[in-house]
């Protein structure tokens, strides 16, 4: 790595104080750099080697630095989701007299990943959720009252609740683990109150605070302090703006919560902290997209962090292999959302006998019906993408035509799924109808217009081959370009047959015509057949790989250039239509959130049954 600019140290000192839970990353265009303690952390924890550290002396100060390629998307994920750290990205502007001046370009934390959308596609990848909790504690008549609100941006779920706790806060610890919170917002002063206060009503509060800090640390939650008066504001009026209006059960939940507004006043203030922290009201993709529910400790077995570790329910960061946790043993889920739900179910053991029996009945149905189990686990679930994150990518206007096709494939599977479930004749048929079939039928109905749009606009034949195009008949300009592409491809196939004959190889057997996005059309022969083209100067080799030798004739090179020009023109001409399709598809996001839950329990229910 190049030496650190001498003016950097002065810029660093002007950035202010940095907390221990924060990493400063400096954007240099094609790479990030981290310095001082951050450099040591990244070297030892991410690269697992101190050899990547570069030391630069600026006057009397030695500056350790580490460079990380921007294309390494694992880096930011590691800091935020694995190490539970806050990341601040700085970018520079050139100043004539002072050199580079650094300013904040983005910020992200375990509970709020949206700030890094410009740097890494956090809507794809592993199964970690971005979850945020807000907590406030008050002492009322010698009772410790805990108020909380929770947000899962992946599932677009909001939760509010209040409960009484002891000074040791065991109920709060259980709530944090049940919800799977990664970051917790607390009012400033709650962790470190004014110890000089002598009011008797304040004494129990002071006693509980050390345990709050301990509970948050034990739960491996990043703590963010906010100003109570400015950030913890009543969000009860915001529910109508945030929750989806299309579903009657959601509106019923809102009305129920508002009827109990007096009981949940502090919880709604915690929700206000989340709304302000995530800037939900200013993000159009978040409007009318959430579900809301009331939190209750009675729904699940209470587990604290010690029990979670002792029982080895979830994998630890230093686990050597998957079988060191119950999650690893049970996890044979086909999809990322199935893995997320499995972790959630392990954190939330049921206590309601009716719900327990219902879940057991579902498991029994798949255990006893081998054909049904094989149909889902072996076929259907293999084709299910991570729907919530796919929907998020579309809502953020980062979707592509292949994302639309992926959703189309899922919707196309619904009829097969419904038929397979209906064919089950066991004693749990009614349970399957209640939990799955009804939801799938509703989803199929909701997606009818979406299916019609895809059938009318996307070329499904080329999509099956991995090429995603708008049908030529949709636009006159596309039809003209498509005709040129077809004629050019016809000439390419003719050239293929001609070259095959001249070098004495059989087309599509000993010599192949292949097409890639990077190179376009080219010929390929195996290494064994390379002797047939050796010494033929009218054939130009592209490269040599394990799969064989890639090459072109002069005529194919010319035709390939024409083909690539026409393909580029086609892509340009279809951009406006693609943009419209993505916009319409993004408007279906509220349906995704109701469609994705039904398959997810199926993924989880099948996960313990490893099929040979």
Please count the other Cβ atoms lying within 10 Å of the Cβ belonging to residue 238. 18
Ordered structural domains, the chain, with CATH: 6-116 (3.40.1170.10), 131-193+206-294 (3.30.420.110), 312-348 (no CATH), 349-466+585-603 (1.10.1420.10), 476-570 (1.10.1420.10)
Burial class from Cβ neighbours inside 10 Å (0-12, 13-18, 19+) for residue 417 reads buried
Using CA of residue 271, residue 276, residue 278, residue 283, what is the dihedral sign?
positive
The pLDDT of residue 526: 93
- CA-CA distance, 282 to 305, in Å (whole number)? 36
Beta-bridge partners for 521:
515
3-state secondary structure of 377: helix
Burial class from Cβ neighbours inside 10 Å (0-12, 13-18, 19+) for residue 444 reads middle
The candidate with the shortest Cα–Cα distance to 188, out of 232, 234, 226, 139, is 226
Alpha carbon 328 to its chain's center: 20
Q: Are strands 520-525 and 548-553 parallel, antiparallel or unpaired?
A: antiparallel
Q: Taking the chain (612 residues) in consecutive chunks of 10 residues, what is each chunk's mean pLDDT?
A: 69 88 92 94 94 89 92 87 92 67 90 80 61 92 90 89 91 94 92 54 48 90 89 87 68 74 89 93 83 89 89 84 90 86 91 93 91 86 84 81 92 91 92 90 88 94 92 94 96 96 93 94 94 91 93 96 96 94 77 51 56 36
E-strand stretches of 36-171:
54-58, 61-69, 86-95, 99-108, 131-140, 143-152, 157-165
Alpha carbon 364 to its chain's center: 31
The candidate with the shortest Cα–Cα distance to 331, out of 320, 346, 353, is 346
- CA-CA distance, 283 to 102, in Å (whole number)? 27
Reported pTM: 0.80
Alpha helices in 423-475 (DSSP H): 429-432, 438-446, 448-457, 460-464
The pLDDT of residue 201: 46
Q: Are 53 and 35 in contact (CB under 8 A)?
A: no
Q: Are strands 222-226 and 143-152 parallel, antiparallel or unpaired?
A: unpaired
The pLDDT of residue 505: 94
The pLDDT of residue 96: 47
The pLDDT of residue 282: 86
Please count the other Cβ atoms lying within 10 Å of the Cβ belonging to residue 453. 18
- CA-CA distance, 46 to 83, in Å (whole number)? 10
3-state secondary structure of 536: coil
- The alpha carbon torsion through 372, 373, 374, 375 (nearest 10 deg) reads 50
Q: Are 243 and 254 in contact (CB under 8 A)?
A: yes
């Amino acid at each position: 790595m190049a030496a650190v600019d001498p003016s950097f140290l002065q810029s660093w000192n002007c950035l202010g104080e940095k907390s221990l839970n924060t990493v400063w990353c400096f954007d240099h265009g094609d790479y990030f750099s981290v310095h001082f303690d951050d450099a040591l952390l990244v070297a030892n924890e991410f690269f697992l080697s101190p050899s990547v550290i570069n030391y630069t002396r600026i006057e009397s100060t030695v500056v350790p630095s580490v460079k990380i390629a921007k294309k390494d998307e694992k880096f930011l994920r590691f800091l935020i989701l694995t190490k539970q750290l806050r990341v601040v990205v700085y970018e520079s502007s050139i100043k004539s007299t002072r050199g580079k001046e650094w300013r904040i370009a983005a910020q992200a934390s375990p509970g709020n990943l949206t700030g890094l959308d410009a740097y890494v596609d956090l809507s794809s990848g592993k199964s970690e959720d971005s979850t945020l909790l807000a907590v406030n504690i008050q002492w009322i008549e010698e009772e410790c009252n805990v108020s909380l609100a929770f947000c899962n941006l992946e599932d677009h779920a909001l939760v509010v609740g209040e409960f009484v706790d002891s000074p040791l806060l065991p109920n709060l610890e259980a709530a944090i683990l049940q919800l799977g919170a990664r970051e917790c917002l607390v009012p400033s002063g709650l962790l470190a109150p004014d110890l000089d206060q002598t009011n008797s009503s304040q004494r129990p509060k002071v006693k509980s605070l050390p345990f709050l800090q301990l509970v948050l640390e034990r739960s491996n939650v990043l703590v963010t302090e906010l100003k109570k008066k400015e950030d913890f504001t009543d969000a009860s009026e915001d529910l109508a703006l945030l929750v989806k209006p299309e579903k009657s059960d959601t509106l019923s939940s809102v009305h129920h919560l508002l009827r109990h507004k007096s009981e949940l006043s502090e919880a709604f203030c915690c929700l206000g902290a989340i709304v302000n922290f995530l800037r939900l009201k200013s993000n159009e993709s978040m409007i009318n997209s959430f579900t809301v529910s009331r939190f209750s400790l009675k729904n699940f077995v209470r587990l604290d962090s010690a029990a979670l570790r002792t029982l080895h329910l979830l994998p630890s960061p230093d686990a050597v292999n998957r079988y060191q946790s119950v999650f690893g043993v049970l996890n044979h889920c086909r999809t990322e959302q199935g893995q997320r739900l499995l972790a959630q179910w392990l954190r939330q053991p049921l206590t309601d006998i009716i719900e327990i029996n219902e879940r057991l009945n579902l498991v029994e149905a798949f255990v006893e019906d081998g054909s049904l189990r094989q149909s889902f686990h072996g076929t259907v679930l293999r084709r299910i993408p991570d729907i919530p994150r796919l929907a998020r990518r579309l809502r953020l206007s980062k979707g592509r035509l292949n994302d639309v096709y992926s959703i189309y494939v899922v919707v196309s599977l619904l009829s097969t799924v419904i038929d397979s479930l209906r064919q089950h004749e066991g004693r749990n048929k009614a349970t399957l109808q209640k939990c799955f079939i009804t939801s799938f039928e509703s989803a199929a109905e909701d997606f009818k217009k979406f299916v019609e749009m895809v059938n009318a606009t996307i070329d499904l034949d080329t999509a099956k081959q991995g090429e995603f195009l708008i049908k030529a008949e949709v636009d006159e300009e596309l039809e003209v370009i498509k005709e040129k592409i077809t004629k050019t491809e016809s000439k390419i196939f003719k050239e293929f047959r001609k070259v095959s004959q001249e070098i004495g190889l059989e087309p599509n057997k000993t010599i192949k015509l292949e097409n890639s996005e990077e190179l376009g059309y080219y010929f390929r022969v195996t290494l064994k057949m390379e002797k047939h083209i050796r010494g033929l100067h009218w054939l130009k080799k592209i490269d040599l790989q394990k799969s064989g030798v890639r090459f072109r004739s002069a005529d194919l090179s010319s035709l390939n250039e024409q083909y690539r020009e026409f393909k580029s023109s086609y892509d340009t001409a279809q951009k406006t239509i693609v943009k419209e399709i993505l916009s319409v598809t993004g408007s279906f996001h509220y349906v995704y959130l109701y469609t994705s839950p039904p398959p997810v329990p199926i993924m989880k229910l099948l996960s313990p049954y490893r099929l040979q």
